Amino acid sequence: FEMIDKNVVIIGSGYGGSVAALRLCEKNIPVTLLEMGLDWEKSGQKFSSMINPGHSAAWLKTKTIAPFFNLFSLEKYTGALDRLDFEHIKIWLGRGVGGGSLVNGGMAVTPKKEYFKEVFPNLDAEKFYSKYFPLANKELKSNVASEEFLKDCSFYKFNRVGEEEAKKAGFKTVRVPNVYDFNYMEKEYKEEVPRSAFAGEVIYGNNHGKNSLDKTYLKKASATGKLEILELHQVNHITQNPDQSYSIDISVINTKGEEIQHKIINTKKLILSAGTMGSLELLLKSKAMKQLPMDDKIGKDWGNNGNFMTGRNWVKAFSGGTGFQQSTIPVGGIDHWEDKDRPFFVEIAPLPMGLNVATSLYLMVNKLKKYGEVNYDSVTQKLQLNWDQSHTAHMKDNAKYFLRTMNKANGGTRAHLLFHNGFGADVCYHPLGGIVLGKATDNYGRLNGHKNLYVIDGSLIPGTIGVNPFVTITAIAEYCMEEIIEKDFA
Ligand code: FAD
């Protein structure tokens, strides 16, 4: 048992936590960053591919947890991908230094300005589009693949088929930026460097090519010499002290997930960046167990960002399918957002199974019609999520319409081989909200009723942003930290 005093602690090393760390360290403020997952780079271990899952494939599970085809047994290990299973929804998350950036598809999408204004009426949209979004994209090293390369590359047949078919069905397609380095990818294609996107690596981590946060924000923050990263530090709960400082109860774990040490860290200022589900769990649990003062808005306005997965089988089955080899990095989208009755955005997702499955996979992003709510059950000591089919019914209607239109124009069937009935209503990669900016916090992430407790992560976005969310999470973190550092750290 150890008791330690610090000035500034951040919990979680995803997008919010990494931005906070860099901006504080740059101002010469020493920061301790607590992360429950592994520091993969330091560990020297390799990430595993989708067709050969190893240590990085799952957080303390004995079977793989991909969205489908979980045929593989695993040794229990502190892997990079986790999945939280609720009755009607499964939520995937990244664990490790870099958070979700280790396991995500790298799609770096700036939301539509009109929708951003609708979601955040209190924010200065002009300033976001002239300052914070460009800054986020620059720091994240967002880049775009060359059309020349995509036109011929055999690994992007799935995308060419996806775009051609969408156009034929009357949909508009868009090129999507990514943080995977496309210069590296071109070399990968020519086999001049080790392959990663072309070797089935993504949701269990990329060994090369991807500019995850450990290569961008966290690398810069570490270079200041002011950042201390403590891996395998799982925060259990938080207590507020009479002098408005906080005590953090921590289990230091080994790679089997067993506690090897118990620590208390006291800190003057605490930044909660444990991701939407992590920050909600810590706040609601600490309220239930340790009487941490809490606004009753916490847990409200939660959403799945309209995530709805679906697909089509028998796609070009008699003329070559979607390709034997597939890049794991998506580059195409279908923009159907302007349709008033059925607005949606679709990611043309790869299915890198090492087989030509003649199947197209789509991750739809819809609007929300109804918010979910997150609570903490003190008896089971677990998060509870109020979310069921009534929340996703309109997303399913949109998916039906999308598939019907695509199949009518191109042939193919609903993907019964991927999902029950062809619809993955329960697949969520983008949990958002619950600690909403300007509601549960002030307009800069200062938690209501607290002086020294901040929330900086996806939970600030009220359940929906219309596109893949990490560029928005990063931009909001930049905006909040600018104000917080100027006013509260002067
Ligand atoms: P996170 O990135 O989730 O980071 C939170 C960190 O806190 C984690 O490292 C976690 O281990 C740590 N933590 C949590 N609880 C504790 C605790 N109690 N103690 C210590 N540490 C803790 N978004 C896009 O924009 N584009 C994409 O292409 C894309 N693809 C995705 C694909 C997959 C498979 C997944 C799972 C997600 C994808 N996302 C994508 C979503 C994106 O990764 C998340 O929205 C983003 O990572 C959320 O950032 P965050 O800062 O809120 O938290």
270-279, 310-319, 367-376, 436-445: lowest mean pLDDT where?
310-319
Task: Tell me, using a 6 A CB cutoff, whether residue 278 lines ligand 1.
Answer: yes
CA of 14 to the centre of ligand 1 (A): 6
Whether 87 is catalytic = no
Closest CA to 178 of 106, 124, 238: 106
Determine which residue's CA is closest to atom 14 belonging to ligand 1: 274
Nearest residue to 51 via CA among 76, 71, 80: 71
Predicted local distance difference test score (pLDDT) of residue 237: 98
Q: Which of 139, 347, 394, 450 is catalytic?
A: 347
* 206 ligand 1 Cβ < 6 A: no
Do the beta carbons of residue 322 and residue 315 sit within 8 Å?
yes
Band the pLDDT of 356: cuts 50, 70, 90.
confident
Q: Are 349 and 330 in contact (CB under 8 A)?
A: yes
Task: Look at residue 244 in the predicted model and tell me its pLDDT.
Answer: 95
Give the chain's mean pLDDT. 97
Residue whose Cα lies nearest atom 32 of ligand 1: it is 104
Cα gap 301→389, rounded to integer Å: 17
Q: How far is CA 77 from CA 46, 51, 96, 100, 275, in A?
A: 13, 18, 12, 18, 21
Closest of 465, 391, 475 to residue 430, by C-alpha: 465
Beta bridge partners of 436: none
Q: Which amino acid is at 469?
A: P
Ligand 1 atom index nearest CA of 102: 43
Q: Find residue 262's DSSP bridge partners.
A: 251
Region for residue 222 given its phi and psi (left: phi exceeds 0; alpha: psi -120 to 50; beta: otherwise) = alpha
Most ligand 1 atoms within 8 A of CB, residue of 430, 471, 473 to mutate:
430
For ligand 1, the distance from its centroid to the CA atom of residue 381, given in whole angstroms, is 22
C-alpha 35: how far from chain center: 16
Using pLDDT thresholds of 50, 70 and 90, give the confidence band for residue 2. confident
pLDDT, mean of residues 134-152: 98
Q: What is the pLDDT of residues 456-475, one digit of tens each?
A: 999 999 999 999 999 999 99
pLDDT of residue 438: 98
The pLDDT confidence band at residue 56, using thresholds 50, 70 and 90, is very high
Residue 401 has a pLDDT of 98
364: containing domain: 2-488
pLDDT per residue as tens digits for the range 66-94: 998 888 999 999 999 999 999 999 999 99
- At residue 135, the 3 state secondary structure works out as helix
Q: Which of 136-150, 248-262, 316-330, 367-381 has the lowest mean pLDDT?
A: 316-330
Tell which residue, 2, 20, 56, 66, has the closest CA to residue 349: 66
pLDDT at 312: 97
Closest ligand 1 atom, CA of 18? Answer: 51
Shortest CA distance to 368 belongs to which of 398, 406, 346, 347? 398
Tokens (6 digits) for 32: 């301790």
Q: Which residues contact 46 (CB under 8 A, 6 or more apart)?
A: 54, 56, 207
CA separation for the pair 92, 304 (Å, rounded): 11
Q: What is the DSSP string of 14-62?
A: SHHHHHHHHHHHHTT--EEEE-SS--HHHHTPPPPBTTB--GGG-BS-S
Q: Total structural domains in the chain?
A: 1
For the CA of 234, the nearest atom of ligand 1: 19
% of the chain surpassing 90 pLDDT: 94
The residue assigned the tokens 């989708």 is 50
94 CA to centre of ligand 1 in angstroms? 5
Regarding the beta carbon of 12 and ligand 1, being less than 6 Å apart is answered yes
Whole-angstrom distance, CA of residue 235 vs CA of residue 432: 21
Residue environment code for 243-258, b if the CB has 16+ CB neighbours within 10 A, otherwise e = eebbbbbbbbbebeee
Question: Would you call 391 a catalytic residue per the annotation?
Answer: no
> Any idea what the CATH number is for the domain that residue 339 is in?
3.50.50.60
Q: How far is the CA of 129 from the centre of ligand 1 (A)?
A: 23
- Looking at residue 303, its pLDDT comes to 98
Is 273 near ligand 1, meaning CB less than 6 Å away? yes
What the block records as the tokens of 27 is 């101002």
Rounded mean pLDDT of 300-327?
A: 95
Task: Compute the average pLDDT of residues 229-238.
Answer: 98
> Ligand 1 pocket, 103 CB below 6 A?
yes
82 CA to middle of ligand 1, Å? 10
Q: Is the CB of 282 under 6 A from ligand 1?
A: yes
pLDDT tens digits, one per residue of 12-29 = 999 999 999 999 999 999
Cα 75 from Cα 365, distance rounded (Å): 34
* Confidence category of residue 97, pLDDT binned at 50, 70, 90: very high
Cβ(248) – ligand 1 distance below 6 Å: no
Residue having the nearest C-alpha atom to atom 43 of ligand 1: 100
Query: What pLDDT is recorded for position 162?
Result: 97
Q: Which of 376, 394, 361 is nearest to 464 (CA)?
A: 394
pLDDT at 354: 80
Cα 262 to Cα 43, 97, 279, 431: the distances in Å are: 22, 20, 20, 30
Task: Among 50, 65, 92, 93, name the best residue to mutate to test ligand 1's pocket (greatest count of ligand atoms within 8 A of Cβ).
Answer: 93
pLDDT for the residue 352: 85
Tell me, what's the pLDDT at 253? Answer: 98
Which strands, in side-by-side order, build the sheet including 427-428?
Answer: 81-85, 90-94, 427-428
- Residue 7 and residue 268 in contact, taking contact as beta carbons nearer than 8 Å: yes
Q: Is 473 touching ligand 1 by the criterion CB < 6 Å?
A: yes
ipTM of predicted assembly, 2 dp: 0.99
Average the pLDDT over 39-52 and give the result. Answer: 95
Q: How confident is the model at residue 186 (pLDDT cuts 50, 70, 90)?
A: very high
CB 343 within 8 A of CB 337: yes
- Please choose, from the candidates 458, 389, 390, the residue with its C-alpha nearest in 3D space to the C-alpha of residue 424: 389
Mean pLDDT of 338-355: 93
